[in-house]
Homo-oligomer: A and B are copies of this chain.
Amino acid sequence: MEQVVNLAPIGLGLIIIGLGIGIGSIGKSAMESIGRQPEAASKIQTAMIIAAALIEGAGLFAIVISYLLGS
């Protein structure tokens, strides 16, 4: 496809902003909760990995699609 302006890098930046907001807030609360209740660390870590993986999966998928559209 012939493009005059290729916006894929801007899209990639927005993807990482979203990913940072999402995984950032999950990780932030996980850290605070483990700090408050260290004996629940394994449960918190399991739930943290599940929630972060959902965002990560969609984010990596969107990065690949951005590459395909931008090239």
Q: Which residues of A contact B (CB under 8 A)?
A: 1, 3-41, 43-63, 65-71
Q: Considering only CB atoms, which chain B residue lies closest to A13 in the complex?
A: B14
Asked whether A13 lies within 8 Å of B17 as measured between CB atoms, the reply is yes
In the complex, chain B residues whose CB is within 8 Å of the CB of A44: 31, 34-35, 38, 41, 47
Asked whether A34 lies within 8 Å of B47 as measured between CB atoms, the reply is yes
Q: What is the bound-complex CA distance between A35 and B33, given in angstroms? A: 5
Q: What is the bound-complex CA distance between A55 and B23, given in angstroms? A: 7
Asked whether B47 lies within 8 Å of A58 as measured between CB atoms, the reply is no
Chain B nearest CB, measured from A28 CB (Å): 4
Q: Considering only CB atoms, which chain B residue lies closest to A33 in the complex?
A: B35
